[in-house]
Structure 1
Amino acid sequence: MSSTDNNWQMAAQGKWLENDSRFIPAHWYPALLVDLLERKGVDPNKTLRSTGIFYEDIAQGSLLTSPDQFDCIIGNAKKHFAVKDLSFIFGHTIYPGNLSSLSNAIMHCSNLEDFFDLFDNFYYELCPYLKLKPVKIEGYVGLEFQDAFGASPHRKFLIEAFMTACKSVIRWLAGRSFPWRFEFDYEQPGYIEEYEVHLSHKLYFSKPKTMFLVEGPYLNESWPNSSSVIYSQAISEFLRSEKRLKSESFVRLVTECIEENIKTPLDLENTASTFGLSTSTFKRKLKKHGVNFQRLIDDVRRSRAIYLIQHEKLNNEQLANFFGFHDSANFRRSFKRWTGKVPGDYRNQ
């Protein structure tokens, strides 16, 4: 059964994760941020305020937390340690981390392909707040950073932290730096110097997707001090000893449904029915995640349209045909609504 079939089976059975689902061990990512702030002089009780989490419970090693709770921790951290590079500093602490035997697997990756495979198979363990998806595009390989639980108020913080985490640990494992290319689906922030210090000078904003990429030949370049045996054993040990998540996030399932039907406008009622929900309950669940159905459709179409303009070099008439518009004028109006710009603005970048 394909992953897509599995996802639709989850949707039909109502098996999904939401932003208040508690599935992330508190001694993984939450503990790292709390401890980082404590080293900076911030009392853990302040960092954990309003989360319902107590530091003593984290130390026990059995407490599970939700994405919403981590959002609250990030908000507290930014309030009590207000520096521009907090997300990047945090990112340097994330991997290999305290992720059970997966940390051992990270430390013994033989190359980038091994590293990307880990994220392909264990994305909710290695980055539960975003979905990191391996990509190959126009001679480049890398990871695409997708929203997992809707509109997090700290989305940029999460992207900055986990991009830094990946770049940092890869440099450590490979014993060298790589000529990374970083693309972001948002406008350039005012603190660009932090991106340049912690990531790269090859930064590209207002792109269709958020990705970090490197040229394909680096994918299988061998890394020193790796062990394919330990790598495989660590994965096997994790699969034996840990309870694997067999669910996808609700927002990701809806987004994938839209992506698979991108040429055909989806009906809200029928889509809700796919998830075994009434229209009102479906809308309420999306609102809980800070999004609505039309916004998700517009985001998917915006991203695909910009990609087709910049990479496939499609003209307006071809784009109108791709998306099922009657003519290019209708497409241009919709594109302006999706992006606030006209297609030509992206062709000239």
Structure 2
Amino acid sequence: MTVHHVRAALRGAQRLGLDTVPLLQRARIPPLLLADDRARVSPEQFARLVRALHRVTRDEFLGLGTIRSRPGTFAMMCYASLGCPDLGTAVERGARFYRLFPGGPNLALERGASPGREAVFALRGGLGPHEGGLTAAEGHIVAEWLMLIWHRLAGWLIGRRIPLLWAQFAYPPPPYAEDYEPLFGCPPRFGAPRTAAGFDRRWLTAPVVQDEATLQTLLRYAPAGLLSRGEYGTTTVAEQVRHALTGALRTRGGPADGPRARRTARLPELPEVAARLAVSPATLRRRLSAEGTSFQRLKDAVRRDEAVSSLAEGAEPIADLAVRLGFSEDTAFHRAFRRWTGTTPGAYRHETWSQQI
């Protein structure tokens, strides 16, 4: 997650006059990172921050709405949706539930009238730019969060990931626009008339498969967990490549006393990933290009996210982390990490762990 997300999440607490430094410390996010536009935090750090903000603001919208959304509102919406026979009914009920509250998000499900038309989930208003005292940039991030939570909750309800055909946003590209495609699974369009996403209408007839027992598990970390969690399955080639690269990075092997390059799992190259996906390297390159990305871009993104998570969460030696990420020299890793985050690996780890209380 980018530092822009962290700043926006804190905005409501700041508006309420709360001291945000202890909140950042609980999440193990160095306050100094907020000054660097290139800085990033791990999904775990961000989820901890959102949970801490929920507790202190007593507001599921983190103080960013025109009115407070009391803790438990999201849970009751989920309970109301569980009794529905299919996804379409569940989404419409959830959207209707939130429209009962003044100042809540005005969400809507639009079903295509003619055969073959896609369904559209749209944000018609509420918690958008300039609402509740938000700046335009903060409102854009809240709109993004609402769409992400809806998309991932819908997938959870039916136990399947729902591929989006398109996603559009009613604002210019933000500084972190390149992160939208991996978040939503499709190339984004900015400067659109409204914020919305389209998907195959057949998903609306998929049965709701969750129950109250599985909902309790979801609610332990929701809605923060829905912002930082992975998807349900993989569908796009880019997602499959990211999954293969991430899995390889987190699989350790080799004897502890062996050569350093063999003590940790090696990041696979394109031919290896192509073989794992049962396609030729040329086909994999072509399919990734058709999805608007490349193997190198995905590799860099996975390296960056794994580096941030490792430095924030564990005690893995930086030299070993560099090898695991596929860097031949420590200095190359240091240069790449500074390019990604604006600081060095050692400084990032020091600042992060100094926040523990």
Band of TM-score, shorter chain = 0.3 to 0.5
Q: What's the TM-score once normalised by structure 2's chain length?
A: 0.38
